[in-house]
């Protein structure tokens, strides 16, 4: 598979690194010579210096032999133009564009359905806002998401020393918790990602990812000793695209929302946009301002400025003032290994959301969604089981699931099935798989159509 990536910024660099590690043929187009040089020195990919919207540069990159074009620069206009030119030069190439401006929100479906030069629009900021909403409603959740139009949920919970889960092995879950037992998809222990088997046990300090039906989420959380209480009030620091989207969504849900923004001009714009949100001009990392806002009476503090250091400081200040439910936006992947050591665990990343959105369109097989977790070291993959793939028509115990992968859920005609060894995947079933990074390629092979020769 050949893939051209237009743009070597944070998203372009990381998706190029990910795809190159999976032995995909990757070409990156970048007009900034410094970014192009860094990419050339760091990764085993072809780098072309120039504009991705140029017909000559796209031809030089081999667009006519390319399966997928990913236009992920910071400019919506360049991304749109790159897809338009690609459609003229190579109509069969699948085209994905990252579009972040809210002015385009109402036109996403028109772009995809009525304009032939864009196959998929990626807006990771929308998914970041949805993730934040899921996280703040479960204060103890460190990660949360969903599949199958929200019918299936996954949640990441840190196991405490007093948890009823602590010390329990998976093989004993049936006896201990009965049919309401959660399906444990992954255990994160001291930066290691464990795809659990029956002999594996859960220990205090483990970060455990479980999967369950959406309508059973609250009952499953009770097994972890967690009672869900929707938030009534929130303070958002940062009035950029993510902060504005989040405030708008929260005020529609009746949540008392306050938003702090450092730019006076932006504050005036936000005040005109919002109906009930209180917009405040100030430095979100100013402890005096926090004290004036009486944080002890606020359910959640979400810091989503464009500066990682500010976001970390805001969350630490909020925790110091008694707010446990904090969410921190982080852009730099190099920060991830250190955040938990200083108490920052609820983290969202537009970059990771963009990578996940892109991967679901790049994966082989009929992939519906692909969600990266824990710094991209693990993935949830939702796919449709194809008739001639190796995963169908045999009991799971007879199928060689790659080491480091686990089939966590089967969805058949709207019914959620938690699989056992005797379960059989039928053609057309939706399946959800968790896999570590090293097992992705083998899992892709299991999901793809098997060629038959006569």
What does the domain layout of the chain look like in residue ranges?
A: 2-122, 146-223, 233-348, 353-447
What's the Cα-to-Cα distance from 391 to each of 379, 384, 387, 433, 443, rounded to whole Å?
Answer: 18, 11, 9, 12, 10
In the predicted structure, residue 231 carries a pLDDT above the cut 50: yes
**Among 308-312, 373-377, 444-448, which is the least confidently predicted range?**
373-377
Q: How confident is the model at residue 310 (pLDDT cuts 50, 70, 90)?
A: very high
Is the pLDDT at 197 greater than 80? The verdict is: yes
The pLDDT of residue 47 is 95
Q: Which tens digits make up the pLDDT trace of 204-230?
A: 999 999 988 888 888 888 888 888 878
Confidence of residue 304 (pLDDT cuts 50, 70, 90): very high
What percent of the chain clears pLDDT 90, i.e. is strictly above it? 39
Task: Band the pLDDT of 443: cuts 50, 70, 90.
Answer: confident
pLDDT at res. 115: 67
Residues 6+ apart with CB under 8 A from 361: 68, 94, 96, 119, 120, 367
Token reading at 147: 């599949």
Q: What class does CATH assign to 146-223?
A: alpha beta
Q: What's the mean pLDDT in 50-69?
A: 95
Judged against a pLDDT cut of 60, whether residue 67 lies above it is answered with yes
116 has pLDDT over 70: no
Fold of 353-447: Alpha-Beta Plaits (3.30.70)
* More confident: 210 or 113: 210
- The pLDDT, as a whole number, for residue 451 is 40
User: What phi and psi values does residue 389 have, to the nearest 5 degrees?
Assistant: -85, 160
Fold match, 2-122 / 146-223? no
pLDDT of residue 203: 94
Mean pLDDT rounded to a whole number for the chain = 86
Q: Is the pLDDT of residue 413 over 80?
A: yes
Q: Which two tokens stand for residue 59?
A: 């031809």
pLDDT at 381: 86
Q: Yes or no: say if 317 and 287 are a contact pair by the CB < 8 Å rule.
A: yes
Q: What is the mean pLDDT of residues 116-128?
A: 82
* Higher-pLDDT residue of 449, 304: 304
Assess whether pLDDT exceeds 50 at residue 452.
no
- For residue 207, the cross-strand partners are 158, 188
Confidence of residue 30 (pLDDT cuts 50, 70, 90): very high
Q: Which is more confident, 428 or 448?
A: 428
The pLDDT confidence band at residue 259, using thresholds 50, 70 and 90, is: very high
Q: Is residue 407 over pLDDT 50?
A: yes
User: β-pairing, 378-384 with 366-373?
Assistant: antiparallel
140/149: higher pLDDT: 140
Question: What is 2-122's CATH topology?
Answer: Rossmann fold (3.40.50)
pLDDT of residue 454: 34
Q: Give the residue from 370, 331, 298, 346 showing the smallest Cα distance to 155.
A: 346
Q: What is the mean pLDDT of residues 257-276?
A: 93
Q: Rounded to whole angstroms, how far apart are CA atoms 345 and 336?
A: 9
pLDDT at residue number 453: 35
Angle at 426 between CA 423 and CA 428, to 5 degrees: 140
Distance between CA 274 and CA 258 in Å, rounded?
11
* pTM of structure: 0.80
Is residue 187 scored above 70 in pLDDT? yes
Average pLDDT rounded to a whole number, residues 69-89: 93
pLDDT(124) > 90: no
Q: Give the lowest-confidence range in 134-138, 166-170, 327-331, 387-391.
A: 387-391
* Dihedral sign computed on CA atoms, order 395, 398, 399, 403: positive
Which is more confidently placed, 46 or 419?
A: 46
Percent of the chain with pLDDT over 70: 96
Class of domain 233-348: alpha beta
């Amino acid at each position: 598979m050949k893939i051209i990536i237009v743009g070597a910024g944070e998203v372009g660099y990381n998706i190029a690194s990910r795809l190159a590690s999976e032995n995909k043929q990757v070409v990156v187009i970048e007009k900034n010579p410094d970014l192009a040089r860094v990419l050339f020195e760091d990764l085993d990919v072809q780098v072309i210096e120039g504009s991705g919207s140029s017909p000559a540069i796209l031809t030089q990159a081999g667009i006519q032999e390319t399966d997928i074009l990913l236009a992920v620069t910071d400019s919506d206009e360049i991304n749109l133009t790159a897809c338009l030119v690609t459609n003229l030069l190579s109509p069969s190439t699948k085209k994905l564009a990252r579009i972040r401006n809210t002015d385009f929100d109402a036109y996403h479906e028109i772009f995809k359905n009525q304009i032939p030069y864009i196959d998929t629009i990626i807006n990771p900021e929308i998914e970041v806002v949805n993730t934040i909403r899921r996280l703040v409603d479960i204060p103890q959740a460190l990660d949360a998401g969903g599949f199958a139009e929200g019918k299936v949920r996954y949640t990441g919970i840190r196991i405490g020393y007093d948890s009823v889960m602590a010390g329990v092995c998976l093989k004993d879950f049936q006896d201990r918790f009965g049919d309401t037992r959660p399906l444990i998809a992954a255990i994160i222990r001291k930066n290691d990602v464990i795809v659990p088997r029956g002999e594996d046990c859960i220990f205090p300090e483990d970060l455990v990812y479980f999967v369950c039906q959406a309508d059973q989420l609250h009952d499953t959380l009770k097994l972890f000793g967690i009672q869900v209480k929707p938030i009534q009030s929130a303070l958002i620091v940062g009035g950029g695209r993510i902060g504005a989207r989040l405030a708008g969504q929260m005020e529609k849900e009746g949540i008392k929302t306050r938003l702090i923004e450092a730019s006076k001009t932006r504050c005036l714009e936000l005040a005109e946009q919002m109906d009930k949100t209180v917009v405040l001009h100030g430095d979100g990392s100013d402890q005096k301002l926090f004290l004036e806002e009486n944080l002890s009476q606020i359910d959640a503090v979400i810091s989503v400025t464009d500066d990682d250091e500010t976001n970390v400081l805001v969350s630490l200040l909020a925790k110091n003032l008694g707010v446990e439910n904090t969410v921190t936006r982080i852009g730099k992947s190099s920060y991830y290994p250190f955040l938990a050591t200083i108490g920052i665990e609820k983290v969202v990343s537009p970059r990771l959301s963009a990578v996940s959105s892109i991967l679901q369109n790049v994966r082989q097989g009929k992939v519906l969604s692909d969600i990266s977790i824990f710094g991209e070291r693990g993935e949830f993959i939702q796919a449709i089981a194809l008739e001639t793939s190796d995963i169908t028509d045999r009991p799971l115990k007879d199928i060689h699931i790659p080491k480091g992968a686990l089939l966590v859920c089967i969805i058949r005609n709207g019914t959620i099935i938690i699989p056992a060894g005797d379960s059989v995947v039928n053609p057309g079933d939706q399946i959800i798989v968790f896999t570590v990074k090293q097992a992705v390629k083998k899992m892709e092979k299991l999901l793809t159509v098997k060629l038959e020769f006569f």
